[in-house]
Structure 1
Amino acid sequence: MVNPAGYDHLQRQLIPGYGSLARLGVALLAVSPLAEAPGAEVLVAGCGTGAELQEAVAQRPDWRLTAIDPSEAMLDEARSRLEGAGASIHWRQSTAEALADDPGCQGRFAGALSVLVLQSLPDDGSKLGFLTALARSLQPGGQLVLVDLMQPSLPSLQEQLTAAWLAFQRASGLQASDADLAPFTHGLHPVGLARLTSLVNAAGFGDPARIFQALGYEGFLLQRRG
């Protein structure tokens, strides 16, 4: 079980560039063809403790936000952080798949953000189901910012990348126990770029455009096909 109170601090020590991911994702979406419009509706899928929401409120206070997460504890933490922000946020304990089954949410959003969610889903249809749900929730032409752990394009680099990741964690002062780290480092299901491209195309998006990379973590901009 992830402790929401220490989530962001631990992620900053684990993931290179984590402190900039929310700011970058919101900045990209804010100038996208549909979400740049005043009062655009934007979905934050897997909102966690609210990092992307805080950035969205700071950069685009006019956005009408929908924040979903399957974890009640995460939603409670995010609500607490955004309390008093004066933002228009609709909170919903839900998965992306359940949201997309709601007729009122199909084709509703001008843009969406999904940070460190896809990596936790096995590639047994779950990844495709998640991406398809996000595509169904977006308007045609709507964009998705997707950030996740990826498999290296050159398997021969895996050992070096792993060693560099551990060195980064030590330099960041990481002192968490294996039990504390387990939800962040175990049970992940990264895929390579070729597989991701196949999945997003099948879900209804165009080819992914890479917009961020730090060791094994990569960010992509996807656009729902018309």
Structure 2
Amino acid sequence: MSAPIGYDLIVQQLIPGYASLARLAVALLAASPLAGRQGAAVLVAGCGTGAELVEARAQRPDWRLTAIDPSAEMLAAARQRLGAEGISWRQSSVEDLQADGCFAGALSVLVLQSLPDDGTKLAFLAALARSLEPGGQLVLVDLMAPERSALQRQVGEAWLGFQRASGLEADPEVLEPLTQGLYPIGEARLNSLVNAAGFSDPAKIFQALGYEGFLLQRTP
């Protein structure tokens, strides 16, 4: 995905609560036993335009950050925004990173949802688990599959209403990667995948309509 002008504003208009997600995700890791240490190494997997990196630098300037994204355009936008100081930039997927046990914590926001559940999601989660020290924690935020409910149609209409009220008028080419061709899963499937990948059961830390956030910990 390229990094369009105003990308961060578009995502804020699309996703309720997105503006607070980076702050919450960093605060969660900063409170963890391993990433809470001075100078901890933290991975931002799928850094996009750098929202989590901005917050990490503000809350924990002592962290040694590694930012990865397969998109050269996204990386360029994030580097322009943040500069090079204190951040190691890598155009890479987490599967190709080859950084086993290197990180005390990791952030992954709106990445898993774009991966098909044909082994690709499991490979991504397993690679994240391998990259962490035993006991290291991951904050994972994604669009989830809706539960079966008679009220689900109303929830879908509310999401569209939220977007209109937020003034969302983005080009369809910009919105498509954020809203189409996604592979959301339910919580039961997520539990199965994260356990198979080497994480403990997820603790929910955020929900806004279909978007949910979880705190996971690598098992010993």
TM-score bucket of the superposed structures, by smaller chain? over 0.9
Which residue is 1:159 aligned to? 153
- For 1:123, the aligned partner's letter is D
Q: Is the 8 A contact 1:4 1:77 kept in 2?
A: no
Cα offset, 1:29, TM superposition = 0.4
What is the 5 A alignment of 1:54-73?
A: 54-73=54-73
Q: Provide Cα deviations, 1:81-114, integer angstroms capped at 9, x if missing partner.
A: 1027xx4110000001001xx2xx1011000000
Which of the residues 82, 87, 90 maps onto 1:89? 87
- Is it true that 1:217 corresponds to 2:215 in the alignment? no
Cα offset, 1:155, TM superposition = 4.2
What is the 5 A alignment of 1:44-63?
A: 44-63=44-63
Cα offset, 1:118, TM superposition = 0.3
Q: Is the 8 A contact 1:112 1:143 kept in 2?
A: yes
Q: Distance in 1 between matches of 2:93 and 2:140?
A: 16
Match of 1:106, SS state, is coil
Q: Is the 8 A contact 1:2 1:183 kept in 2?
A: no
- For 1:42, the aligned partner's letter is V
Match of 1:43, SS state, is strand
RMSD: 1.2
Which residue is 2:179 aligned to? 185
- Is it true that 1:150 corresponds to 2:148 in the alignment? no
Which residue is 1:7 aligned to? 7
Q: Distance in 2 between matches of 1:97 and 1:117?
A: 13
Q: Is the 8 A contact 1:153 1:193 kept in 2?
A: no
Q: Distance in 1 between matches of 2:115 and 2:3?
A: 20
Q: Is the 8 A contact 2:23 2:55 kept in 1?
A: yes
- Is it true that 1:132 corresponds to 2:126 in the alignment? yes
- For 1:76, the aligned partner's letter is A
Q: Distance in 1 between matches of 2:32 and 2:58?
A: 17
Cα offset, 1:153, TM superposition = 2.6
Cα offset, 1:175, TM superposition = 1.3
- Is it true that 1:194 corresponds to 2:194 in the alignment? no
Could you list the runs of 5+ residues in structure 1 that have no partner in the other structure? none
Distance 1:157 1:123, change over 3 A: farther
Cα offset, 1:154, TM superposition = 2.9
- Paired-residue identity, %: 71
Q: Distance in 2 between matches of 1:122 and 1:21?
A: 24
Q: Distance in 2 between matches of 1:152 and 1:129?
A: 23
Kindly tell me the number of residue pairs found equivalent between the two proteins: 220
Match of 2:219, SS state, is coil
